[in-house]
Amino acid sequence: MSVDVPSDPARQERVSTPDMQTAPPARREWTRKVLARYGVIVVIAITFAIFSLLRPSAFFTAVTIKGILRDCAPLMIASLGITFVLVMNDYDLSVGGLISLCATVVVVLMSPAYVGVNYIVAIVLTLLIGVALGLLNGVLVSYIRLPAFILTIAMGTVFTGAGLQIVNSQSVYQGIPQAFINIASGSFLGFSNQVFIGLVILVIAYVVLQHTEAGRYMYALGGNPEAARLSGLRVRVLRTAGFVLVGLAAAIAGILINSEAGAANPDTGVGLLLPAYAAAFLGSSMFRVGRFSALGTAVGAFYLQMIGTGLTILSLSGPVVQMIQGGILVGAIGVARASKATDA
């Protein structure tokens, strides 16, 4: 059933030359595009080269690189959770509090000093708690229509406080079974178990976002919520699902962190909030610029950990590391913004 219509040259022209009047000269345009798409990757390579040159014997070694991969796993997992929410143009700033609470809860559940259940039961329960808290956030945001930004800050504070209260602001060392510690500390084929766990979660997140209907709907919702709704998408269900995934990811991250530490430190997750967002935003400034993606987030998390490790090897102090990491985030947002401006 094809319809014949005389082609209109004026129309074709309009399609082929978008926004010609506003476009800068071709060379500048080209530089900007390349910078936008590959800038972050180039910066990562340069950073890597600098560390390698400064401390060839300490940095550019298999042990260090494996260490970076291991240490970035919890951050990447938390950040992948956030990526789902960011894709839908929402924010969940309770992720730090969620990680703290879940990390504490898993240890408290298995420690004989508190509850003392089998460590596998403790893990399952913790995952369920993460999901339940995420569901609470999601329902409050998408059904009760509370503003996500401030609500999740408040909820994060509640979660952090709850974690501290459970253990009376003390760390818990006793009664943690070795089998639990082995989850994060064990290794396989020379790589930490955390690397494999992270990889599995990365693959799942990638497939969901890129290859499932739910993932496509999430991007559509982020791009134009009203068009998504009028197309028949279950907008509130999708938004809620995003917060649930953050809860799940935070629980996994918290479990891994305390499995690695062999202890429960009730403010584990607080320091992870900014890096988790930094990783996702770094990720959004590469590949398809301005678009959050699972792969981008993973690369972002790896980069942040690489800098953390590198700066530690250069024996820079914690505050300096913070300043540099914050500065990198500002740069990444700038790159994403600049390249978006050329697209609009």
Partner 1 sequence: MPDSGQVIVSMSGLVKRYPGVLALAGADLDLRRGEILGLVGKNGAGKSTVIKVLAGVEKPDGGELLIDGAPPPAHYASHIAHQMGLAFVHQEIGNFPGLTVAENIALGARYPRRLGLFIAKRRLRDGVSEVLRRLHTDIDPGADVAELTTVQQRVVMIGRALYHRARLLVLDEPSTALTGREIDQLHSIARQLRDDGASILYVSHRLEEILSLTDRVAVMRDGRVILERPTRQLSHRELVEAIAGEAPAGAVTERPWVRADERATASTPLLRVRHLARPPAVKDVSFDLYPGEILGLAGLIGSGRTELARLLSGADRSTGGIVDVAGHALRLKSPADAIRAGIALLPEDRRYEGLVLDFGVRENVTLASLSEHRRGRLPLTSRRREAAATEEMVSRLTIQTPTVEQQVRRLSGGNQQKVVVAKWLVRHGQLKVLIFDEPTQGVDVGAKEEIFRLIRRIADRDRGTAAIVISSEFEELTRLCTRVIALREGAVAGTAEGNDITEQMLVSLVYGEGAGTTVEGVDRVDAQS
Among 31, 61, 170, 224, binds partner 1 (CB under 8 A): 224
Q: Does 1 bind partner 1 (CB under 8 A)?
A: yes
Query: Segment near partner 1 (CB under 8 A), from 21-29, 33-41, 55-63, 217-225?
Result: 217-225
The smaller minimum CB distance to partner 1, of residues 29 and 42, is found at 29
DSSP string, 138-152: HHHHHTS---HHHHH
Q: How far apart are CA 18 and CA 299, in angstroms?
A: 32
Q: Does 124 bind partner 1 (CB under 8 A)?
A: no
Q: Does 62 bind partner 1 (CB under 8 A)?
A: no
Q: Does 32 bind partner 1 (CB under 8 A)?
A: no
Q: Does 291 bind partner 1 (CB under 8 A)?
A: yes
Query: Segment near partner 1 (CB under 8 A), from 7-15, 32-40, 44-52, 128-136?
Result: 7-15
Q: Which residue reads 């990811």 in tokens? A: 249
Q: How far apart are CA 88 and CA 218, in angstroms?
A: 5
| Window 225-244: contact mask with partner 1 (x via CB under 8 A) | -xxxxxxxxx----------
Residue 119 near residue 273 (C-beta atoms within 8 A):
no
Angle at 74 between CA 71 and CA 78, to 5 degrees: 145
Q: Does 6 bind partner 1 (CB under 8 A)?
A: yes
Q: Does 213 bind partner 1 (CB under 8 A)?
A: yes
Backbone dihedral angles phi then psi of residue 191, each to the nearest 5 degrees:
-110, 145
Query: Segment near partner 1 (CB under 8 A), from 169-177, 215-223, 261-269, 278-286?
Result: 215-223
C-alpha dihedral, 255 to 258 to 262 to 264, nearest 10°: -120
- End-to-end distance of the chain based on CA atoms, in angstroms? 35
In angstroms, what CA-CA distances link 327 with 121, 307, 323? Answer: 41, 12, 6
Strand partners, 188: 191
Structural tokens at position 64: 């260090």
Nearest alpha-carbon partner for 314 in 42, 40, 57: 57
| Window 262-281: contact mask with partner 1 (x via CB under 8 A) | --------------------
Q: Does 287 bind partner 1 (CB under 8 A)?
A: no
Q: Does 9 bind partner 1 (CB under 8 A)?
A: no
Q: Does 11 bind partner 1 (CB under 8 A)?
A: yes
Q: Smallest gap, in angstroms, from Cβ of residue 10 to partner 1? A: 8
Q: Smallest gap, in angstroms, from Cβ of residue 229 to partner 1? A: 6
The rounded Cα 248 to chain-centroid distance in angstroms is 12
Q: Does 214 bind partner 1 (CB under 8 A)?
A: yes
Q: How far apart are CA 79 and CA 42, in angstroms?
A: 22
Q: Smallest gap, in angstroms, from Cβ of residue 197 to partner 1? A: 23
Q: Smallest gap, in angstroms, from Cβ of residue 200 to partner 1? A: 18
The SS3 of residue 2 is coil
Query: Segment near partner 1 (CB under 8 A), from 30-38, 179-187, 205-213, 241-249?
Result: 205-213
Q: Does 24 bind partner 1 (CB under 8 A)?
A: no
187: enclosing H helix or E strand: strand 187-188
Burial class (CB in 10 A: 0-12, 13-18, 19+), 344: exposed
List interacting residues with partner 1 (CB under 8 A): 1-3, 5-8, 11-12, 14-16, 18, 207, 211-214, 216-217, 219-220, 223-224, 226-234, 290-291, 344
